[in-house]
Structure 1
């Protein structure tokens, strides 16, 4: 307003700029109408090249987390921050509206105190439609363990949810966490307690005694009591499982969830006015030391023998004697031992191998099995010359069938009339 008024009074642009304390080019732009008061020049939108990709991803999966989508476009070259990214999603209305999923408000919540190193919360997460080559059925099984004080969590894929696989997954989770808390918390799963009463079973009491921990069972229908692990379940399902493509092995999927859990350690926290991260809080927690070997539970899994007389187990292959191709066998392994046994359907042990490192992709063969397989293959060979396949055979002579009751070369006699 002052610039236009002074300009009408005959002032020069330099005099107006000195009088108002502004740059001459700024005064010239406002006088020429190239700039509008109150409007800043917008910087180039870094989100624009990725808008169509985000719209397509959210159209395919309307419930995809923004954090998952942000990780994807960061790999594609997006340079902005997460808050700028979410503002752009809202500004462009990229996510389709879903009325049933609107969050309900007005619910009362309570904050439960969690001293450091006091508790670990465990829960099974059933993941639908796993890759068919895993052979686990309709759901994959992920055991998640979380430290409620810091929020750090780790997870392990298991083949089933029975007692031996639960013990195996528990041991792997606490070793990934770097130790165990003084108490373990579960919901009313039947492998830990009797669901009707909540009393811990004798079998799992032996496991708790082995690790030197106490066991707490959540009240019935009180999922918020272990809300930290429930939130970890949500993160694993939305940020990892929704992005798992077909064709991955169990070991590759396990490495993916491990990377996500480590990435989640960088989440920010404010404790007593000081800024920190989940990883720093977890490193400061004092956890109990773990036994050198896991609890000696016996894990078994059914497998099918390949034509090469091999059996797959935990990302490795083990040999069996020839003659078992296509049959179902049982792989049995006691946790903490260095050997595993392979049994037939009649529980006869046909092979015993030293267990290879889980997921290392090794092929463990017994020398006797190799010699027996080679001998059987050589015995199946024949010295007879193979059939000739690159020849043109003569066309066969066509012979028409002769009517029954007819002499060769003569037509059949007519049938006499009825009654004659």
Structure 2
């Protein structure tokens, strides 16, 4: 305002700059309308080189999380902060509008206080359309466990949601968390309780007693009671599963979810007036020690024998006796033991091996199986020369005789089918030999 007023009075730009204590370029910019009071000059937008990539990713998937897209552009060379990135996405209008997602209705929400080390919340997350190489069908299964106080969570991929896989997944999750809380919370899954009443099953009561914890079941149709693990499910589905490429192995996918869970420990939390992180809160929780071995549940999986006499299990291959290619066998493993058994459909055990580490890519062969397979393969070999293909071999006498027999049989059958009565033709011919008399004329 002062610069414009002094300029109208005839002051030079240098005089105005000396009087107001500003640079001449600043005074000239305000007088020429290049700068406006109250509006800060925008720094160069660092997202411009990445706008086309962001627009393409959001056009392919309008519900892609901003955190996932931020991780991708950081790997491509973006150096700005996350808040600057999301503000630029909104300013440039990169994300397409989705009308159904903007029709959510509000409801009352109460925050439940969870003391440190008091509760772990568990839930199954069904992942649609897994890679075909996994061989798990239409859905993959992810068991997610979250500490209710701090929000730290870990997850484990499983082939099924049955009782043995649940027990194994629970043991792996709590070991990844570094211990167990005093109580476990579940929804009304049939492997834990009777869904109609919420009463704990006898089998899972043994698991709870083995770990020395209590079990809480959510009331029917009250999934908000385990909102911490539900939010972890949402993060796992949107930030990890949505971006899993085709052709990835189960072990690689498990490594990806582990990395995401560790990265989520850097989330900031406010406790009173102090700022902390999820990882620091989880480290301060007093968790119970875990048993040395998992609960001894028995795991059974059906596998197909390969032509090489091998059975695939958890990223490794185990040998069976020869003569079973394509047969269905059952792999049995008791949790906590380092051996596995392979049985036929009739429950006859045909092999027993020491387990290799999951995902190690090892081939475990029994010496007896190797010798038997070599003998079977060598026995099928022959030193006879291969049959010649370019030779002349006309039909033999036996073949010609059989052909004549077939022709005669065909002729005889045709004669039997046609029946001709010649008496009728003879009577007609006899009448035609003489002319008819006047008495035989018609109409007489």
TM-score over 0.5 for the pair: yes
Residue of structure 1 equivalent to 2:350: 350
The alignment status of 1:258 with 2:258, answered yes or no, reads yes
Residue of structure 1 equivalent to 2:329: 329
Shift of 1:373: 1.4
The alignment status of 1:245 with 2:245, answered yes or no, reads yes
Matches within 5 A, 1:52-131: 52-102=52-102, 104-131=104-131
- Counterparts in 2 of 1:353 and 1:113: CA distance versus 1, 3 Å: same
Cα distance in 2 for residues equivalent to 1:214 and 1:300: 27
Cα distance in 1 for residues equivalent to 2:274 and 2:36: 43
Shift of 1:307: 1.4
Matches within 5 A, 1:224-303: 224-303=224-303
Shift of 1:200: 0.3
Cα distance in 1 for residues equivalent to 2:349 and 2:286: 45
Shift of 1:182: 0.4
- Counterparts in 2 of 1:371 and 1:48: CA distance versus 1, 3 Å: same
Residue of structure 1 equivalent to 2:184: 184
Cα distance in 2 for residues equivalent to 1:36 and 1:216: 62
Cα distance in 2 for residues equivalent to 1:355 and 1:22: 78
Superposed CA offset, 1:217-246 (max 9, x none) = 100000000000011011111111101111
Could you say what secondary structure the match of 1:209 adopts?
A: helix
Could you say what secondary structure the match of 1:94 adopts?
A: coil
Cα distance in 2 for residues equivalent to 1:338 and 1:196: 38
Cα distance in 2 for residues equivalent to 1:396 and 1:90: 83
- Counterparts in 2 of 1:39 and 1:217: CA distance versus 1, 3 Å: closer
Shift of 1:388: 7.0
Moved more, 21-30 or 208-217: 21-30
Cα distance in 2 for residues equivalent to 1:70 and 1:130: 25
Could you say what secondary structure the match of 1:237 adopts?
A: helix
- Counterparts in 2 of 1:325 and 1:254: CA distance versus 1, 3 Å: same
- Which ranges of structure 2 fall in alignment gaps of 5 or more residues? 395-406, 409-421, 427-444
Superposed CA offset, 1:319-359 (max 9, x none) = 11111111111000000111000011111111100011111
Could you say what secondary structure the match of 2:185 adopts?
A: strand
Superposed CA RMSD: 2.4
Superposed CA offset, 1:196-226 (max 9, x none) = 1111011100000000000011000000000
Cα distance in 2 for residues equivalent to 1:113 and 1:71: 32
Cα distance in 2 for residues equivalent to 1:28 and 1:127: 62
Cα distance in 2 for residues equivalent to 1:29 and 1:212: 74
Cα distance in 1 for residues equivalent to 2:41 and 2:77: 24
Superposed CA offset, 1:351-373 (max 9, x none) = 10001111111111111111111
Could you say what secondary structure the match of 2:333 adopts?
A: strand
- Counterparts in 2 of 1:62 and 1:396: CA distance versus 1, 3 Å: farther
Shift of 1:395: 11
Residue of structure 2 equivalent to 1:320: 320
Could you say what secondary structure the match of 2:336 adopts?
A: coil
TM-score (norm 1): 0.90
Moved more, 361-370 or 193-202: 361-370
Cα distance in 1 for residues equivalent to 2:35 and 2:290: 69
Shift of 1:394: 9.0
Cα distance in 2 for residues equivalent to 1:123 and 1:368: 44
Cα distance in 2 for residues equivalent to 1:394 and 1:329: 46
Q: How many residues align?
A: 402
- Counterparts in 2 of 1:38 and 1:112: CA distance versus 1, 3 Å: closer
Cα distance in 1 for residues equivalent to 2:341 and 2:192: 27
Residue of structure 2 equivalent to 1:196: 196
TM-score (norm 2): 0.85
- Which ranges of structure 1 fall in alignment gaps of 5 or more residues? 398-403, 406-417
Could you say what secondary structure the match of 1:215 adopts?
A: strand
Could you say what secondary structure the match of 2:120 adopts?
A: strand
Could you say what secondary structure the match of 2:64 adopts?
A: coil
- Counterparts in 2 of 1:104 and 1:39: CA distance versus 1, 3 Å: same
Could you say what secondary structure the match of 2:169 adopts?
A: helix
- Counterparts in 2 of 1:274 and 1:37: CA distance versus 1, 3 Å: closer
Shift of 1:6: 3.6
Cα distance in 2 for residues equivalent to 1:31 and 1:286: 66
Cα distance in 2 for residues equivalent to 1:244 and 1:106: 33
Residue of structure 1 equivalent to 2:145: 145
Bigger Rg, which one? 2
Residue of structure 1 equivalent to 2:429: none
Cα distance in 2 for residues equivalent to 1:124 and 1:106: 26
Residue of structure 2 equivalent to 1:411: none
Shift of 1:396: 11
Shift of 1:14: 2.9
